[in-house]
């Protein structure tokens, strides 16, 4: 039987979704895999696991109360684009580097599209928005073609305008989802679930980008903490047993 920790191990390595057997006859499975003897499969995602842990993991309260900075969940290697970059150039760069989303940062005074490499190290730059693959969903081919040569910030503004006109705007999904090093893990998870995003930007008090926390990072630190706690309890139990034996 595949356990939650088994799933978390796989997802903590960057796998976003996997098929799992509804009923498996295998024992001691150490990873998510397809099992021929199973009568059926279900798709399990990183968000499914995170939502389950948040709703049912009362024993994880100590971990949830920790700050993301102290858990070392923040990845400080973050690359993004300026507000002036064209949609077509950003899409090409994201595809080349297998990125699902990039932060949009405020361009320096006088800076225009093409002045620098499209993707650049944006640590210490002011975060103003996010451009993701999800933004392209719902765009017709004709609409997307007409917007490929506009800037990413104009593209985002157009999407919000269209959503408002159609009455489909979602405040939670439309806002910038960000935290800081002092934000608790619980608060970060709640924001990600509410906004249906797979990453959250880390900023300082001035709104300058410092890093990123992804679902992969969160599942990794929760699993590491859970295993460390379990090992610690086992050591205490072993020590207590040994001391009782010597008496």
Task: Map out the domains of the chain as residue ranges.
Answer: 1-45, 79-219
* CA 165 to centroid of chain Cα atoms: 30
Of the segments 134-143, 153-162, 173-182, 231-240, which one has the largest average pLDDT value?
153-162
Average pLDDT over the chain, rounded to whole?
82
Residue 186 buriedness (CB in 10 A; 0-12 / 13-18 / 19+)? middle
> Which pLDDT value is given to residue 54?
85
With contact defined as beta carbons under 8 Å apart, do 204 and 180 qualify?
yes
With contact defined as beta carbons under 8 Å apart, do 102 and 90 qualify?
yes
Q: Does domain 79-219 have CATH number 3.10.580.10?
A: yes
Handedness of CA 203, 76, 172, 192 (dihedral sign): negative
The pLDDT-based confidence of 35 (bands split at 50, 70, 90) is very low
pTM comes to 0.78
Beta-carbon-side half-sphere exposure of residue 104 (alpha carbons within 13 Å): 22
Closest CA relative to residue 55, chosen from 222, 192, 229, 186: 186
Closest CA relative to residue 103, chosen from 139, 85, 78, 86: 78
With contact defined as beta carbons under 8 Å apart, do 34 and 60 qualify?
no
Three-class DSSP category at 73: coil
Average pLDDT rounded to a whole number, residues 203-225? 93
Closest CA relative to residue 190, chosen from 204, 180, 200: 200
> Which pLDDT value is given to residue 110?
66
* Better pLDDT: 244 or 168: 168
């Amino acid at each position: 039987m595949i356990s939650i920790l088994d799933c978390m191990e796989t997802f903590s390595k960057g796998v976003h979704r996997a098929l799992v057997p509804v009923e498996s006859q295998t024992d001691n499975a150490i990873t998510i895999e397809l099992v021929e003897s199973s009568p059926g499969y279900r798709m399990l995602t990183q968000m499914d696991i995170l939502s389950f842990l948040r709703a049912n993991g009362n024993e994880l309260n100590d971990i949830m109360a920790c700050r993301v900075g102290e858990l070392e969940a923040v990845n400080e290697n973050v690359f993004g684009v300026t507000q002036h970059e064209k949609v077509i150039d950003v899409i090409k760069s994201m595809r080349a580097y297998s990125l699902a989303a990039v932060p949009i940062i405020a361009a320096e005074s006088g800076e225009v599209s093409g002045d620098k490499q499209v993707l650049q190290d944006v640590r210490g730059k002011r975060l103003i928005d996010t451009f993701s693959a999800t933004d392209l969903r719902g765009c017709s081919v004709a609409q997307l073609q007409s917007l490929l040569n506009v800037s990413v910030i104009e593209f985002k503004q157009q999407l919000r305008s269209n959503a408002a006109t159609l009455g489909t705007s979602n405040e939670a999904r439309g806002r910038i989802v960000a935290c800081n090093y002092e934000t608790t893990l619980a608060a970060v998870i709640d924001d990600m679930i509410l906004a249906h995003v797979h990453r959250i930007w880390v900023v300082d008090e001035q709104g300058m980008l410092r890093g990123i926390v992804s679902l992969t990072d969160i599942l990794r630190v929760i699993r590491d903490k859970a295993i460390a706690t379990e090992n610690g309890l086992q050591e205490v139990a072993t020590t207590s047993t040994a001391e009782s034996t010597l008496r």
